[in-house]
Amino acid sequence: MQQSEFLNVVMPFKDKLYRLAKRLLVSTEEAEDATQEILLKLWNKNASFEKYKNVEAFAMTMTKNFCLDRLKSKQAGNLKLVHSNYQEKGSLLQKQIEAKDSVSWVERIMEELPEQQKMVLQLRDVEEYDYDEIAEMLDMQPTAVRVALSRARKTVREKLTQKHSYGIG
């Protein structure tokens, strides 16, 4: 596979790889390093792309595994989970502050979720993958993906309700 073909296949989902790495790792730098590593691994495996039904799902699985390995490594003792790819432009300062506060609360709540629920929530609600793709990436049954997503959303909703007393008239 030539470089131009590789770029045509991989570049459309490069940002998704980065966002997943950013979700799982602590910093922008860590996520950039992880994304770069995955892209390098993909380039080294580009001759065998034909045997994969979905190169994007394969790359997302590689990213997930690489980041989880990184988190488990001894040198990752100071890493924690964060997510900060939400930016709202052109709104009033108050709305920007409120939006950042809301995202901050959701981030904190997501940090407390079990790893599987956290990844399913990231892949479905942020990356907008469908259930079958998530099931393939995480090696789960589609019904298990739905259950994990439902539980994750329920936990986030309940904790936000407790924090902000939503729905109390």
Task: With beta carbons less than 8 A apart as the criterion, state whether 55 and 136 touch.
Answer: no
pTM comes to 0.53
The first and second tokens of residue 45, run together, are 């495996």
The CATH classification of domain 3-76, taken from the options 3.30.1540.10, 1.10.1740.10, 1.10.1060.10, 3.30.420.130: 1.10.1740.10
**How long a stretch of residues is the chain?**
169
Which DSSP category does 27 fall into? S
CATH class as words, domain 93-164 = mainly alpha
| CA atoms of 67 and 28, how far apart (whole Å) | 13
Of residues 105 and 130, more confidence is placed in: 130
Q: Which pLDDT band holds residue 83 (cuts at 50, 70, 90)? A: very low
The first and second tokens of residue 94, run together, are 């108050």
Report the range of poorest mean pLDDT among 20-29, 47-56, 70-79. 70-79
Task: With beta carbons less than 8 A apart as the criterion, state whether 137 and 60 touch.
Answer: yes
- Sketch the domain layout of the chain as residue ranges: 3-76, 93-164
Output the pLDDT for position 54. 87
Q: Which pLDDT band holds residue 81 (cuts at 50, 70, 90)? A: very low
